Amino acid sequence: MRFHDDRRPPPPELLGLARRWRTERQLGRLARLPAAAAGTARFAVLGDVEPSRFWIWRRLFNREGVFPRQMAAIRAAPAAFVVQLGDMVEKGRPERYARFLRQLRRADLGRPYLTVIGNHDRSRPNGSSHSTLYRRLFGRANYAFDHAGTRFVVLDSSARRLTAAQRRWLRLVLDAPGRKVVFTHMPPAHLGLWGGVGPAHAIGGFTGGAREFSEIVSAARVSRVYMGHVHAFGVQDYRGVRYVLTGGGGSALFPSGAADRFHHFLAVECGPAGVRERVHALDGRSFEIPAAPVILPAHDGPRSWRRFLGSTWAGA
């Protein structure tokens, strides 16, 4: 597959690879599942999976083959669908997407796989960029759907901001009774909890419209906001909403302000009794996220969930 200019149509081979993974098609599959009529939604959430463009980072902070292993574990999980929180490719180029889509095909997941756009899925991971290729391959970058009594909203924070139009749309789609869950690539930076290495991660998330975002999800009584971007795990309850950082899908585990850096995915159950998540680490161990509120002070250094996990977790 040959390189092409940013804005030219994707090569036909790539369009062919992507066709079955288009969001509209995945949502159609999801709507036809018997689980759609149930009262409890069961799904998996997987964070950043791009292994890093630079071999030295892969060598120092990553290992081979995390994504296929995560996919194999998700196949065994009680999940009707999977949401991947963005940064599926190192950079939004045709050959990178083609490689990822072939991996996805090989994973033989057997259930809908929905994507959130991350900054790496854009034409450039940092700086000015566009999302043309992602949208040509998958469809809209902001979308919502209902499944098993819950409204799910996927929101594009890949450009490190939410526009006024996005916020208006978010208010509208969250103006519904019942349970609501939001997926977005970056944490809102004002939570101040999850920093990282270099200018891309130093502020730990998106800034433009971030406070308004929190006001909107609090007013709408959203149950969960799931986020990636920072390659770690963390939980924070903020103004009635639980924010769960789950960025350990398979990307390099860079040193960052977050203490809990390990590869994992979440298996989530969202029903009348509330939302419960089980964190599945790559080594097969798992734990449930406790329901008790978590209020962490911002900017006071690394913080750890190991107190919930026991000393055997220390080497994870």
Contact residues: Fe ion, CB under 5 A: 87, 118-119, 229
Task: Give the number of other CB atoms < 10 A from CB of residue 158.
Answer: 26
Least Å distance, CB 231 to Fe ion, is 9
Least Å distance, CB 315 to Fe ion, is 26
Residue closer to Fe ion by CB (options 87, 156) is 87
Least Å distance, CB 88 to Fe ion, is 10
Query: Helices (DSSP H) in 175-309: which residue ranges?
Result: 198-201, 210-219, 306-309
Residue closer to Fe ion by CB (options 180, 229) is 229
Residue closer to Fe ion by CB (options 174, 257) is 257
How far apart CA 230 and CA 245 sit, in angstroms, is 8
Least Å distance, CB 114 to Fe ion, is 17
Least Å distance, CB 195 to Fe ion, is 13
Q: Answer for the pair 75, 113: CB distance below 8 angstroms, yes or no.
A: no
Q: Name the residue number minimizing CB distance to Fe ion.
A: 229
Pair of tokens at residue 72: 């194999």
Q: How far is CA 189 from CA 51, 221, 230, in A?
A: 24, 20, 11
Residue closer to Fe ion by CB (options 87, 90) is 87
Residue closer to Fe ion by CB (options 118, 234) is 118
Residue closer to Fe ion by CB (options 118, 192) is 118
Tokens 């288009």 belong to which residue? 22
Q: How far is CA 73 from CA 84, 101, 166, in A?
A: 14, 18, 34
Residue 283 φ then ψ, to 5° = -85, 5
How far apart CA 77 and CA 73 sit, in angstroms, is 7
Least Å distance, CB 117 to Fe ion, is 10
Give the SS3 label for residue 167: helix
How far apart CA 96 and CA 101 sit, in angstroms, is 9
Least Å distance, CB 282 to Fe ion, is 20
Residue closer to Fe ion by CB (options 224, 229) is 229
Among 74, 79, 82, CA closest to 41? 79
